[in-house]
Structure 1
Amino acid sequence: MNNKKFLVTMNVPPMLEGAVVDCLLTLESELGFSTFPVNAHDHKNQGLSTREQVFGRQRKIRFQMYLSEKGLAELLTHLKNEFSGSGIHYWVMPILENGIL
């Protein structure tokens, strides 16, 4: 049995927060997810409002969850089908250790 776990992080435009929450809640994730507001900084000004360009940051909602390898594949397939072209930035990292203290 494969026990590999992965941390998935996504920066989501605020207008998509509810849709992404609904999408994630429909998946059978055994571990849940967390969300929190972040400021994204990027040298590319594509899609930024004038205000965002002046301040050098764009508001995003960060989602984080950790999943099994199978759950990761299912999540990415589902997200790509639902949110293709939406500008959601994601990355995946292996979990070396986790637990509850």
Structure 2
Amino acid sequence: MTSDYCLLLLFVPPTQEDAVIDWLLQNHPGLTFTSAAVAAHTGEAEGLSIIEQVSGRKRQVCFSVTAPTAQCPALLEHIQSAFAGTAIRYQLVPLVGQGVF
């Protein structure tokens, strides 16, 4: 099954939240996205503050971006270029369905 749309999940440090919102709105105004505060969990301590290591979670903002599948490679390249070195993590998955009720 091929999908016409993909779902790009961006896991962004809170310090980069406004920059990502502004960048998405300015550079890709046709995309639909949402954002929410999330807690990232990992067993690796690298890159975690002492407080994050003790609490077992790292505060992040998750952006869910819906985009046409054909645009996803270029979108990822643009994000990588614009936010290099900011520790943004991503996941890209085919979107099997979407709609409005």
TM-score by length of 1: 0.90
Aligned position for 2:85: 85
Q: 1:3 to 1:53 in 2, by over 3 A?
A: closer
The letter for the 2-side match of 1:5 is Y
Q: Greater shift after overlay, 23-32 or 91-100?
A: 23-32
> Could you list the runs of 5+ residues in structure 2 that have no partner in the other structure?
none
Residue in structure 2 matched with residue 55 of structure 1 by the alignment: 55
Which stretches of structure 1, 4 residues or longer, exceed 6 Å deviation after superposition? none
Give, in angstroms, the shift of residue 84 of structure 1. 1.5
Output the CA distance in 2 between the equivalents of 1:53 and 1:76: 30
Whichever residue aligns with residue 9 of structure 1, its letter is: L
The range that moved more, 12-21 or 65-74, is: 65-74
RMSD: 1.6
Whole-angstrom distance in 2 between the partners of 1:7 and 1:92: 6
How high is the TM-score relative to the length of structure 2? 0.90
